[in-house]
Chains A and B, each alone.
Chain A
Amino acid sequence: MIMIPDDAVERLLESAQAIGAVCDKANVQQWEVYATQGYGHSLEIEAGRISMASGGGEGGFGIRVVEDGRYGYAHLVDPNSASRAIEQALSIAKRSPSIEGFELPGNNPATKVGGMMDNAILDLGPEDLLEQGDQILTRVAELDSRAVAVGGGVGVGAGAGVIVTSSGIQDGGIHTSHGLGIHVSIDEDDHLTSSYEGESSRSLLKDLTASVDKAVHWSQATREVIPGGETEDCPILMTSDGFSPLFSVVVPTAIKGERLARGESFWSGKMNQNVIADHLSLVDDGLMEGGMSSGSRDDEGVPSRTQTLVESGRLIGELWSTRDAAKLVAEGKVSSAESTGSASRGGHTAPPVCGCSDLTLSSSAKTLSRDRLIEEMENGYVVHSVMGAHTANPTSGDFSVTTSTILRVEDGQVVGSLSQAGLSGNMAKALAGRVVLGDSQKRKGSYSTGSMHVPDILLMDGLRINPA
């Protein structure tokens, strides 16, 4: 392997065990050591050329200690300084509230999840990546001589991760990733159109040009600008790329057990009630083969699972981490709760928090191709990307964003694009209205934890377009 040492996991495990031994020596009641070490190569594209190539690695250790239901956390990069970090974590634990019933997870058997690592990625070197960059740039030029790749890049990574706990969990593995992003613009006749597209995978991306094709397509498709009309409440077809960012800001937050219990979610108090259209279901799958946010265990060692959160429009599940579940039970906010294997963290520098893994929105009704969705809509707009998705309000579900990749549809036909428009509405209400899903599931990154698997979606109700 070029990218990561053959014994990366073993070395991390050995260090984590050594830190655990220091915890034992200090008579820590319960402890957890989470360790990561990542390596990667990447290149940046700018102004139609490869502007920089880089490589490197980073990693470290996170230590969580629990004493009488109180927890503390510290992180470090050198295992030899574990004593000091453990001392800090214990000191913080003493200041933390005691949560009755809070203990670190036990060692329960976990299901192996396939597709987390691709040897083809491990064997990629910087020169291979530069060749991929060449392919991307060549493709842009082939598709449209006016098009320029103004930004983007390609990256590959491999990371080793382990978790070792006082309750006997000892697990680890290697995961890989391959991703690309491409920002294409066409600037002609004082009129600039552009599109950013990207994709990533645990395995080697088979077709590097798919994103390029899409970026060039949307840069071309939005060049026929027609005058914007009046503000109107109308059907909107959001492509998977346009919908995922908004969905990822609002929905994963709304289904956290703690937020539901505290009244912080627009779905609070609605367990077992219909909350979205009755043909829609929402499943969080921590066991998805090759899932970017899946694995045999969550980030505190609880076996991952596949959990239905909304079934046929009815809210039936929620996401819990171990501590959140114990805390809300202890506070009397819920009568019972337990971990759903939904702990995640951004790395070794933070303790686990509750979040989704690979979240899928699906429909039991007939799904349609994009062309058929446009016909179904009759009159409205197609929105392919939005600006400001992160400003959506996850508490209320309200959002008000801007789009420059928007097509006007009249009588089931695209008649032109708008230069810019506002798009506003409420995610919860829109999903509870008339909805038709597209027929292909796309995985997209996320503004929150987890990965979103949402298709194109036709939202017939509750959205407003405000042309510039």
Chain B
Amino acid sequence: MVVTTRQSDSPLSSGKMLDEDKITKALNFASSLGAEYAEIRLVSETTNTASLKDGKLERAIPGQEVGVTMRILADGAWGVHSTSDISSITEQVESTFRLAKAVAARRSASQTVVELAEVPIIQDEIHWKSAKDVRDTDLDKRIEMMLAIDNEAKDDERIVSTSTGWSDEHIHTELMTTEGMNRVWSFQRSLINGMVTARDGDEVVSYRMRHGGEGGLEVIEACDLGEMGRNAKISAIRLLSAERAPSGRIPLVADRDLTGVYIHEALGHPCEADLVAAGDSCLEGRLGQTIGSEICTVVDDPTMRGGYGCYPIDDEGVNPRPKNLIVNGVLTEYLNHRETAHRYDLEPNGGARAQDGLHHPLVRMSNTIIQGGSHRDLDELIEDIDYGIYACGSRGGQVDTGRGSFQFAAQEAWIIENGSLTRPVKDVSVSGMTLQILKDVDGLTRDSHLAAPGFCGKGQTVPVGDGGPLMRIKEALVG
């Protein structure tokens, strides 16, 4: 263990942590053994988390974690070694090479050999500077920001408790490969969240809120935290008297949060080329086909600065770019990494992300968003709905990419009757089949932007952004 706990005054937070000579020797050794490719990627994360319970500091945790992962491709198969002891990584070349060879030896003649698409070999450093470096934010400031939510969220006797949380991170990554890639990049993310719990007799409900994005303190300062707290309180109190949601196939209008979760779950995951390659995507073989309504255009954009899923370079050292997943209803692109780009003869689009330095990269989403449509606003979207649901705020979702079925849940909802919102309902979840429901999108408002930040799990957890306009689905399974 050779890494120390350091904060923003540390030279390691901006300088290189990998010993280039030693890493180069290790990579050369891998090549000399017969490896087709090898890489060593180090991630150092300087983090701060804090939380308040009922306005009092519950915890504050500063930390610096470092991890390093070596991937070796030999005989068309992967061997991987990960450790938090960065000094030991160079000792693992031979064993990791043997691991890759052992995996390759089990491959049958009909199974695919792993090869990597060619990408530009770059030596550089990219550091996305925050307007207000989050490492310079002290605990008092973090508490002040959380209290701004808390003070406005608890001003009602039915609110029995409030929780607020803070998380910021400065992520520093170094990547060296046998191809000569030598890249260093860094950026920051900041997040604030809260939850209010309301009670009336035996009826108890909670409402969650979250704001954040790529960047430093300025991300949090851009949010009206008091309004966020007030809105959460109002929603929680409203839920106390909300009825249970109806069940059945009915028209659905989703707010930006739910539109984002919907597009993330229903479309984004099946577009991940590693799932396509695994035979676990309903979109396999459908590139170029119309899979959705012609008003649907969906982009996954890691370069959308400020989005919670941004990154300057992907975890294979590839420059990321926006991916047009669907254009006017036609599936045009998968998210890929170098392995799947080669397999499907696609241009690498920089979709490789790892949770941290202790994990290998998978194909992941970044900021996924539906482009705006032609409807003016919510009123215009619902004016010709006789009976339906307007659902708001996300409680998360899940997808079975192979079957193409998905589910997501709303925090609160309203019944739409004769073109108007009438009464609140709760516990709304929506499910459907990707290939059907994308065709059933029949209305989008004009303005499209990212909604609340989120986290995506796929064995590894990564921050993501998603959103879009308000969206109308002519029939969805609600229940």
Contacts and interface: CB of A to CB of B under 8 A. Distances in A.
B400 A387 contact: yes
B222 interface: no
Contacts, number: 259
Contact of A51 (B103, B280, B405, B478): B103
A444 interface: no
A418 to B, nearest CB: 11
Given A53-B79, A231-B248, A264-B197, A391 B395 contact: yes
A91 B48 CA distance: 14
A54 B56 contact: no
Contacts of A445: none
B32 interface: no
Contact of B429 (A50, A56, A265, A424): A424
Contacts of B407: 387-388, 391, 401-402
B206 A395 contact: yes
B248 A76 contact: no
Contact of B80 (A54, A75, A422): A54
Contact of B398 (A55, A81, A127, A390): A390
Contact of A55 (B6, B95, B432): B95
Interface residues of A, number: 77
A417 interface: no
A150 B398 contact: no
B205 interface: yes
Given A75-B63, A264-B161, A404-B405, A85 B5 contact: yes
A150 B3 contact: no
Contact of B479 (A54, A59, A466): A466
Contact of A46 (B64, B100, B278, B399): B278
Contacts of A387: 398-400, 405-407, 431
Contacts of A402: 398, 405-407, 429, 431
A399 interface: yes
Interface in A411-467: 420, 422, 424, 464, 466
A52 B77 contact: yes
Given A50-B106, A390-B396, A77 B1 contact: yes
B334 to A, nearest CB: 15
A231 B84 contact: no
Given A54-B360, A60-B84, A231 B61 contact: no
Contacts of A395: 197, 204-206
B67 interface: yes
B398 to A, nearest CB: 4
A95 B197 contact: no
A77 B84 contact: yes
Contacts of A60: 1, 65, 84
A39 B199 CA distance: 46
A187 interface: yes
A364 interface: no
A193 B107 CA distance: 26
A74 B400 CA distance: 39
Interface in B425-442: 426-429, 431-433
A175 to B, nearest CB: 19
A312 B57 CA distance: 38
Contacts of B102: 53, 126-127, 130
A52 B405 contact: no
Nearest to A58: B84
A220 B400 CA distance: 17
Contacts of A268: 199, 204
A396 B429 contact: no
Interface string B336-371: 000000000000000000000010100000000000
B402 A194 contact: yes
Contact of A95 (B3, B140, B282, B396): B140
B5 A84 contact: yes
A354 B156 CA distance: 28
A395 B5 CA distance: 37
A80 B4 contact: yes
A92 B143 CA distance: 12
B206 A393 contact: yes
Contact of A185 (B82, B402, B426): B402
Contacts of A183: 280
Contact of B402 (A150, A263, A391, A466): A150
A49 interface: yes
Given A53-B80, A56-B358, A387-B398, A151 B280 contact: yes
A148 interface: yes
A159 interface: no
Interface string B407-419: 1110000000000
Contacts of B395: 391, 393
Interface in A319-368: 349-351
Interface of B: 1-6, 56-57, 59-67, 69, 77-85, 95-96, 99-100, 102-103, 106-108, 111-112, 139-140, 143, 160-161, 197, 199, 202-206, 245, 247-248, 274, 277-280, 282, 358, 360, 395-400, 402-403, 405-409, 426-429, 431-433, 477-479
20 contacts: A52-B78, A52-B103, A52-B360, A54-B80, A54-B360, A57-B84, A77-B1, A84-B5, A92-B61, A150-B279, A151-B278, A185-B280, A231-B248, A266-B202, A349-B63, A391-B397, A396-B205, A398-B427, A402-B431, A464-B247
Given A264-B199, A264-B206, 12 more contacts: A47-B279, A48-B279, A50-B103, A53-B99, A56-B80, A58-B67, A74-B63, A75-B5, A263-B161, A388-B409, A400-B429, A420-B405
